[in-house]
């Protein structure tokens, strides 16, 4: 059981920077999920809305630029970065990120705060070095960047991606497109809100499209059109309020879902009156999307192997008024003995390397290993096999991931089809973002989406 992180705030350092520093320390010690660490620290420290936003910007900014920051530190330290205490490296990362990328914070304030941070962590004797490095940095930045341009690992340093991931991207996409993807991963993602449409009465506006348009208009009005815009299906929000505090989220009028993640359910096309299963469903975005389309007509079963994450699904369903949806906790890699081929439609959103979500999960690139691809591909195939046993003759199945590897996506589906060629057919595949996989010109909204894969399979009668 995870214990709540309760860092003692140090009055010498502003709360946002102290929380950011402690979060980076835990990340360095091997903590897996940076968003959970940061959330726990922000909650236990009772950060204000503004300090939460700043601590998030600092932590995510450091991780998006980690290799570049470390290169600067290494070059400006007489004995190299390896000679410095790890806590001092974290303090320098925070200071250099602010000097290089946050124009609104005066340089003298950054230096002063960093020196006080050294005192707060009992590293006072080294604060002179920290002070010197930060004060010298603005004058040396151009020379440091020139050094990066000449370095054999230039792309890795500039984009902060491991070498193996760069090699993989170059092989799959080609050098130019791979580099565009690497740089894309360091751009802050947009937040997309999907409206709940089924709660609108059908009588005044009988068509689904009319009710969807009405739901979008209500979201825009509730959020404020100055902070939001729409692609006709979701609302992109660019305000500074934490998403959990948005009234439309708390009231169940909307949920967070990237357009790429919506592709799988759109491909499945669940219809009112059908029996539908959503497998590996947590945190529940696709379950909510399916429930909204079924309009409380039919049966929807949301299944996940993690009881705590399934609880989150239940909470989201309740918040959005979908208490009629059934939730089940079970290990989906094992045979489902009671599977009786009764489902009209099944969605399996397989665990994966998540390479399509690196903009959002900024620490993921540092946690992944090349061997994870093969291991997760095997798991995905096992899940696909078991999911297929739920589908009735003539029914349909969608296999989806939020990654980009051939092994976890197309090759997994091909292995399944080669084994069940008489029973199953591939209807369609969708890979996002399309600009990575084809030469077609895409609009800006498509470029802004996450990466994903989904395949629609049909079962013979």
Contacting residues for 156 by C-beta, under 8 A, at least 6 apart:
67, 162, 163, 166
How far is CA 230 from each of CA 190, 219, 381, 445, 458, rounded to the nearest angstrom? 12, 10, 36, 10, 33
> Residue 284, by phi and psi: left (phi above 0), alpha (psi -120 to 50) or beta?
left
- Whether residue 320 lies in the annotated active site: no
Q: What angle do CA 408, 266, 225 make, to 5 degrees?
A: 110
Q: What are phi and psi of 36, to 5 degrees?
A: -70, -40
Query: Is 163:156 a contact under the CB 8 Å cutoff?
Result: yes
CA dihedral (335, 336, 342, 348) in degrees, to 10, reads -70
Among 118, 280, 352, 402, the one annotated catalytic: 402
Q: Identify the H or E element spanning 388.
A: helix 370-388
CB neighbour class for 122 (10 Å; exposed up to 12, middle 13-18, buried from 19) = exposed
DSSP class per residue in 165-222: HHHHHHHHH-HHHHHHHHHHTTSPPPEEEEEP-TTS-TTTS-SHHHHHHHHHHHHHHH
First to last CA, the chain: 48
Contacting residues for 86 by C-beta, under 8 A, at least 6 apart:
25, 28
Q: What are phi and psi of 304, to 5 degrees?
A: -150, 155
Query: Is 186:64 a contact under the CB 8 Å cutoff?
Result: yes
- Cα–Cα distance between 181 and 287 in angstroms, integer? 29
The DSSP symbol for 9 reads P
How is residue 328 written in tokens?
A: 């089940």
Catalytic residues: 402
């Amino acid at each position: 059981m995870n214990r709540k992180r309760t860092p003692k705030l140090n009055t010498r350092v502003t709360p946002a920077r102290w929380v950011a520093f402690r979060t980076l320390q835990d990340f360095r010690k091997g903590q897996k999920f940076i968003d959970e660490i940061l959330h726990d620290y922000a909650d236990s420290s009772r950060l204000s809305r503004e300090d939460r936003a700043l601590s998030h910007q600092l932590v995510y900014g450091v991780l998006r630029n980690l290799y570049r920051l470390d290169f600067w530190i290494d070059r400006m330290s007489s004995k190299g970065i390896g000679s410095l205490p790890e806590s001092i490296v974290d303090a320098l990362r925070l200071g250099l990120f602010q000097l290089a990328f946050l124009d609104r914070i005066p340089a003298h304030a950054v230096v002063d705060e960093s020196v006080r941070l050294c005192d707060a962590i009992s590293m006072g004797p080294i604060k002179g070095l920290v002070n010197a490095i930060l004060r010298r940095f603005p004058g040396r930045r151009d020379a440091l960047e020139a050094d990066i341009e000449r370095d054999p690992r230039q792309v890795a340093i500039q984009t902060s991606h491991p070498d193996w991931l760069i090699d993989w991207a170059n092989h799959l996409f080609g050098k130019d497109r791979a580099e565009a993807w690497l740089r894309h991963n360091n751009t802050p993602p947009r937040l997309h809100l999907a409206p709940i449409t089924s709660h609108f009465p059908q009588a005044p506006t009988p068509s689904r499209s009319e009710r969807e348009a009405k739901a979008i208009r209500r979201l825009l009005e509730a959020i404020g059109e100055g902070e939001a815009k729409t692609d006709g299906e979701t609302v992109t929000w660019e305000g500074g309020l934490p998403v959990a505090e948005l009234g439309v989220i708390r009231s169940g009028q909307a949920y967070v879902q990237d357009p790429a993640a919506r592709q799988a359910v759109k491909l499945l096309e669940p219809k009112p009156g059908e029996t539908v299963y959503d497998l590996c469903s947590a945190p529940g975005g696709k379950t909510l999307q399916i429930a909204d389309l079924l309009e409380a007509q039919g049966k929807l079963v949301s299944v996940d192997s993690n009881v705590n994450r399934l609880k989150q699904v239940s909470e989201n369903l309740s918040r959005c008024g979908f208490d009629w949806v059934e939730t089940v906790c079970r290990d989906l890699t094992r045979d489902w003995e009671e599977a009786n081929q009764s489902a009209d439609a099944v969605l399996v959103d397989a665990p994966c390397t998540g390479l399509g979500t690196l903009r959002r999960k900024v620490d993921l690139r540092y946690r992944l290993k090349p061997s994870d691809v093969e291991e997760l591909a095997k798991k995905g195939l096992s899940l696909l096999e078991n999911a297929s046993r739920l589908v009735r003759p003539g029914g349909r199945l969608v296999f989806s991931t939020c990654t980009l590897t051939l092994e976890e996506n197309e090759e997994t589906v091909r292995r399944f089809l080669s084994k069940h060629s008489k029973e199953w057919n591939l209807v369609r595949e969708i890979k996002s973002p399309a600009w990575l996989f084809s030469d077609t010109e895409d609009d800006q909204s498509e470029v802004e989406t996450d990466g994903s894969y989904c395949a629609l399979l049909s079962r013979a009668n």
